Structure 1
Amino acid sequence: MAQVKNNYQFEDMLQKHNLKKTAPRLRVLSMMYSKNTATSQPDLESVMNDIDRVTLYRILNTFEEKGIIHKVFDLNGTANYAVCHSDCKENHHHDEHLHFNCTACKNVYCINELNMPRLTLPAGFEPQAFTLYASGLCPKCSKKGAARVN
């Protein structure tokens, strides 16, 4: 479910991450927090046509560096962005959760409710990131498919 925040909370978030409170940054935060799926830059561009492509790219890049959002790839290899947990920090993400790609609607979901297995690598390997993907049908698409069968 999408997290509900108001503009004051977004302003506090930007201040906490030492970022200027600009209207485009606040709009991007508001849009991303209103969704329960990850979203791509092209999708954001289509609904935020008053923010140019370069500015939007810079905002997303800055938010990712600051630990506000994290990048996840969909089944086509397109970068999508999702809101981070509060324990993410600048240049150090804790987004070790399942990323679910729906094969019907193409949405990407962050599934935080699962307990992730502990990752044990052979000697000499030092993991810096961990990503786990699954694909199939999301609840909405599963329900649509079941309705068509009945």
Structure 2
Amino acid sequence: MKNEIDKKLTDKNIKPTAMRELVLQVLSEQKTATSLPELERKFEKADKATLYRTLKTFEENKLIHSIDDGTGSVKYALCQDACECHPEDLHVHFLCTRCKKTYCLNDITVPTINLPKNFSLESVNMVVKGACSNCKS
């Protein structure tokens, strides 16, 4: 597993460090997007600034993406392996209004946005809200 984690880091030009390996390990095990406060609880002994810098490094190198799901806390999720975070790579996110978990719906792409002339698209944040399968049953 450590070799897989290190490979993911080096493939994105990120130098493997103990903290980066641990954070990537935790993010890899998540089924939903994770907020910084949630990660801080998992790494109680870690320096918060180091944890934040790790997430920023991951995001800048397109290993993770951030999600503003309207809850007031930015969440983070792993990118797909081939993702470059270009508009064509963007996908829909689902926020369960009951359990407050945010899911990446990787198979549902964000619809094409036809902007006016001389406008350029950099990113789109599409969040669908409702009840997840766990809360619905």
The partner residue of 2:40 within 38, 45, 58 is 45
Please show how residues 121-140 of structure 1 align to structure 2 within 5 Å.
121-140=115-134
Give the Cα–Cα distance (whole angstroms) in 2 for the partners of residues 115 and 17 of structure 1.
Answer: 23
Q: Hey, what does 1:113 align to over in structure 2?
A: 107
Alignment partner of 1:97 out of 87, 91, 112: 91
Return the offset for 1:93.
4.4
After TM superposition, the score normalised by the length of structure 2 is 0.91
Q: What is the number of residues matched between the two proteins?
A: 136
Larger Rg: 1
| Cα distance in 2 for residues equivalent to 1:93 and 1:123 | 20
Which residue of structure 1 aligns with residue 75 of structure 2?
80
Q: Could you tell me how far apart the structure 1 residues matched to 2:77 and 2:125 are?
A: 14
Tell me the alpha carbon deviations over residues 85-131 of structure 1, each in whole angstroms, 9 at most, x when there is no partner.
12234xx4455111111111100111012244222112121101122
Task: Report the AA paired with residue 107 of structure 1.
Answer: K
| Corresponding residue SS for 2:118 | coil
Measured on the aligned residues, the alpha-carbon RMSD in Å equals: 1.5
Q: 1:23 to 1:93 in 2, by over 3 A?
A: farther
Which residue identity lines up with residue 10 of structure 1 in the other structure?
A: I
Change (3 A) 1:53 1:114: same
- Deviant stretches of 4+, over 3 Å: 92-95
Q: Secondary structure at the match of 1:109?
A: strand
**TM-score for both structures, normalised by structure 1:** 0.84
Give 3-state SS (helix, strand or coil) of 1:112's partner: strand
Question: What runs of 5+ residues in structure 2 fail to find an aligned partner?
Answer: none
Are residues 93 and 52 of structure 1, via their aligned partners in 2, closer, same or farther at CA, if it must alter by over 3 Å?
farther
Partner of 2:23: 28
5+ unaligned residues in a row in structure 1: which ranges?
1-5, 144-150
8 Å CA contact 2:14–2:61 kept in 1: the answer is no
Instruction: Using the aligned pairs only, state the percent identity.
Output: 38
After TM superposition, give the deviation of residue 37 of structure 1 in Å.
0.4
- Which stretch shows the higher mean deviation, 62-71 or 115-124? 115-124
